[in-house]
Amino acid sequence: MNLLHLITRRRYQTGFTLIELLVVMAIIATLLSIVAPRYFDSIEKAKEAVLRQDLKIMRDAIDQFYADFGKYPLDLEELVDRRYLRSIPIDPMTESNTTWLVMPSPNEDEDGVYDVHSGHTGKALDGTFYEEW
């Protein structure tokens, strides 16, 4: 074989073998199996942090409303109408602002929203239920 024949033959054989591709895919799959659970846990932690913050803000607004008017708001929309909230926040677990569970006052003589909870029925990462927060 002459040198020109070897060079042209070598030029057309560039590429990856099946074994090389399988090794690379196995490495990528291993890395994904390590990273993916951490990624999804961090998303859940972030949603839980947002939920806790939203609940705190709405409960503070309810308390401020009660301090100003001596009664609880009839619904969450009244907090928006009277500018205690800019808008009803979106529940990060249900991704809706209409799923909040409003709790009436334990005192039967008072009407209105005493407390608010998430409408999501799942369990948090710490083992508690979202609707109990």
pLDDT in the model for residue 125: 87
pLDDT in the model for residue 46: 94
Per residue in 4-52, pLDDT (tens digit) is 565 555 555 677 889 999 999 999 999 999 988 888 888 999 999 999 9
- Whole-number Å distance between alpha carbons of 114 and 106: 8
List Cβ neighbours of 65 (8 Å cut-off, separation of 6 or more).
72, 73, 78, 79, 82, 84
pLDDT in the model for residue 13: 62
Q: Where does residue 78 rank: exposed (0-12), middle (13-18), buried (19+ CB within 10 A)? A: middle
pLDDT in the model for residue 95: 92
Per residue in 46-91, pLDDT (tens digit) is 999 999 999 999 999 999 999 999 999 999 999 999 999 999 999 9
pLDDT in the model for residue 11: 57
Name the CA dihedral angle for 97, 100, 106, 108, rounded to a multiple of 10 degrees: 60
